[in-house]
Chains A and B, each alone.
Chain A
Amino acid sequence: MRKIVMLLAIMLGMIACEEKDISLFPSFEESAKFNINTNSFEEDATIYSSVISDAVIEATDGEGGVERLVLEGLWFEVTPNSGNTAQAMTLTFQIKSWATDEYLPILEDFTFTVNSGKVNFLKELKSEGVIELKNQLNAIAKGLPSSDIKFESEGIVTPEGGTVDVDVEVFVNATVVYTTTVGI
């Protein structure tokens, strides 16, 4: 990811006459996958905190202090597996609160067609779950006490009967805002 350098760094090296704090904004993506194989389902998926930590370290090259993590994107990637006959899915997508162990909704009764590809649901987001997700991502990125990010997905598939075999992968896209010092 960080192969490219740094024209601007060269510029800065040419120009700077003092130490200077600059903010950088690298991005990363991580995901968790549900496999849904029943008409009525309740499945768990996890993004491990170590995965987020590693992504942040990779994004920042382990340099500087993370100021915040900006959650910029959230979407599903749907993959109907061989033999699947499900055509649509209605689900409630939740995140487990670190404070209470309760599940907080990110999506509620969200219906989408089961086609291979990406599903955008920005307009359907629920604040309770999204705020919890942002808090958890920020805690991990900043190295605060944290745990894994656990999701739950429950819902139904239509039409009933037939064979259900669908992978739903939830993607998180975030930008790490971190500060590092460049000087002479």
Chain B
Amino acid sequence: MYVLWPFATNAYDLTFKQKPKLMKRSVFMLFALMSFTLVQSQSLEDYLSKYTQENGKQYLQPFADAFSADFNSGLFHNAHLKKMGFQLYIGVAAQVATIPSSAKHFQAYTESGLFEPEGPYSVPTVFGPTEGKIVPIEASNGLLDYAFPGGFDMDYVPLAMPQITIGSVFGTDFTARYIELDVTDIGKIKVFGWGLRHSIDQYLDILPIDLAVGYYNQSFKIGEYMDATANVVNLQASYSIPVLTFYGGLGYENSKVDVQYTYEGPDISTTSIQEGDRVSFEMEGANTVRLTLGMTLNLGPVKIHGDYNVAKQNTFVVGLGIGINEK
């Protein structure tokens, strides 16, 4: 019923606002599972502070795409719902968005109040090479230079999402994800997600498969710097044989990421953005339609599942959990 961001306990002062025993156990399990330990923190501002809206937006767009794709993955691993009766699943799904090479650079123009924009230059996105690009400023006859920040050189964006699903009332179950953290220098990180799905096959006895339709809404907020929401509606299907459940889905999704930060470039111009001004912009995730294909291994109450999601931003998911009255 909560989400864990598996960054370092020794780098940040994490304060869990809610500490039920089960949550703590799962959190530690997840830490062990993911084994992520951040040694040093780095500032988003270091990367973005000299970018105004347009460059900043393009710099971060691949992040919005991958992040949203991760968020909308791993939400289900079967489509079987009882018409009425207790069903429970508690587990963790690790989603991984793969970053295409096309998402590692973007075409940027210099942004400065001192001279007209120059370019375009192919420069790193947030997932691009760590080395930035330094170009001579033509307006200064090449005597001064302009530095485009580098990226984090990432090929994959994983995200671990513990969640609980409980049902079923009239063939309907409820899924939730929630956590709130206090992180030094960031502020509060708050993640909340919920979803409902309803059995369709209960009305269609002739169907040899389980069929359900689901809707999920998730929000993610980091201090005053980022506010993201993701929505997905999907048609889910599954077919079970002993030990194995094959499942799939077709979904339509959208996502929005709002970003804010402080500009720190030169402020000579009286008409353009000034140093210290807040830069804010909104990004939309690239994905719209998502096809999911996966399989669950049912070892009694222990469920191990994996699926692949085909969309503009592909993801794959591996999950582990405990399911009661599931198949």
List chain A positions with a Cβ less than 8 A from chain B: 1-17, 19-27, 29, 63, 70-75, 117-118, 120, 122-123, 125, 127, 130-131, 171, 173, 175, 177, 180-184
Contacts and interface: CB of A to CB of B under 8 A. Distances in A.
Interface in B8-47: 8, 11, 34-47
A9 B41 contact: yes
A5 B44 contact: yes
Nearest to A25: B149
Nearest to A24: B46
Nearest to B150: A23
B149 A11 contact: no
Contacts of B145: 70-72
A40 to B, nearest CB: 28
Contacts of B8: 13, 184
A27 B267 CA distance: 12
13 contacts: A5-B41, A5-B43, A6-B41, A8-B126, A10-B183, A15-B152, A15-B158, A24-B42, A25-B149, A73-B268, A120-B268, A180-B40, A183-B39
B76 to A, nearest CB: 23
B262 interface: yes
B141 A22 contact: no
A122 to B, nearest CB: 4
A72 B136 CA distance: 9
Given A9-B40, A15-B36, A22-B150, 6 more contacts: A11-B63, A21-B130, A24-B42, A72-B112, A75-B114, A127-B143
A4 B147 contact: no
B205 interface: no
- Dominant SS among interface residues on chain B: loop
Nearest to A2: B43
B146 interface: yes
A121 to B, nearest CB: 9
Contact of B132 (A8, A10, A23, A63): A23
Contacts of B126: 8, 11
A10 B147 contact: no
B134 interface: yes
A50 B140 CA distance: 28
B134 A26 contact: no
Interface in B24-75: 34-47, 49-50, 63
A74 B134 CA distance: 17
Interface string B107-120: 00000101100000
B157 interface: yes
Instruction: Among B139, B140, B150, B186, find the residue whose CB has the most chain A CB atoms closer than 10 A.
Output: B140
A24 B115 CA distance: 24
A125 B150 contact: no
Given A22-B130, A24-B47, A122-B137, A181 B270 contact: no
B7 A14 contact: yes
B275 interface: yes
B38 A27 contact: no
B147 A72 contact: yes
A17 to B, nearest CB: 8
A108 to B, nearest CB: 14
B159 A25 contact: no
Contact of B266 (A13, A15, A73): A73
A8 B147 contact: no
B322 interface: no
